[in-house]
Amino acid sequence: MMANIYSDAKLYVDASKIRNLMQEKKINKTTAVTEIEVHGRMYQFYAGILPDEFREEIIREREKLYLKLESTQYTPITSVVTENVDEQQKATYFTRTL
């Protein structure tokens, strides 16, 4: 969390120091998880991991949503991306990552 706060303040060197310290001390962040219920069955999705049984369907649906958003001239709010990357890469985080 501190690394994200530093990144938000554009203090990338300090954010990097925190991340390096966490790595040295073997401190891991908790992985984000989303839970949904479909037809009475619960599913968990972890950040950055697509389950094999749904991979192709999720990618297809994500692409459909992306095209719908693109047709509405949707502009993602990229200020919430804390990585030190250019605006185009930040926008990609909201559309075609997984």
Report pTM: 0.43
Give domain status of residue 12, yes or no. Answer: no
Q: Using the 8-state DSSP alphabet, how is residue 96 labeled?
A: S
> Position 59: which residue type?
I
Range of the domain at 84: 50-98
Query: Looking at the 3D structure of the chain, how many domains does it have?
Result: 1
- The per-residue pLDDT for 96 is 55
Which tokens in the block code for residue 73? 């001239």
List pLDDT tens digits, range 48-94. Answer: 777 788 888 888 888 888 788 878 877 777 676 666 677 777 666 66
| 75 found inside a domain | yes
Q: Is residue 73 part of a domain?
A: yes
φ, ψ dihedrals at 39, nearest 5°: 50, 45
The stretch 31-48 carries a mean pLDDT of: 82
- The single residue listed with the structure tokens 């930040």 is 90
Residue 38 lies in a domain: no
- Is there a domain that residue 32 lies in? no
Q: What is the 3-state secondary structure (H, E, C) of 11-80?
A: CHHHHHHHHHHHHHCCCCCCCCEEEEEECCEEEEEECCCCCCCCHHHHHHHHHHHHHHHHHCCCCCCHHH
Q: What pLDDT sits at residue 44?
A: 83
Q: Is residue 55 part of a domain?
A: yes
User: Would you state the pLDDT for residue 24?
Assistant: 93
pLDDT for 98 beyond 50: no
Q: Is residue 3 part of a domain?
A: no
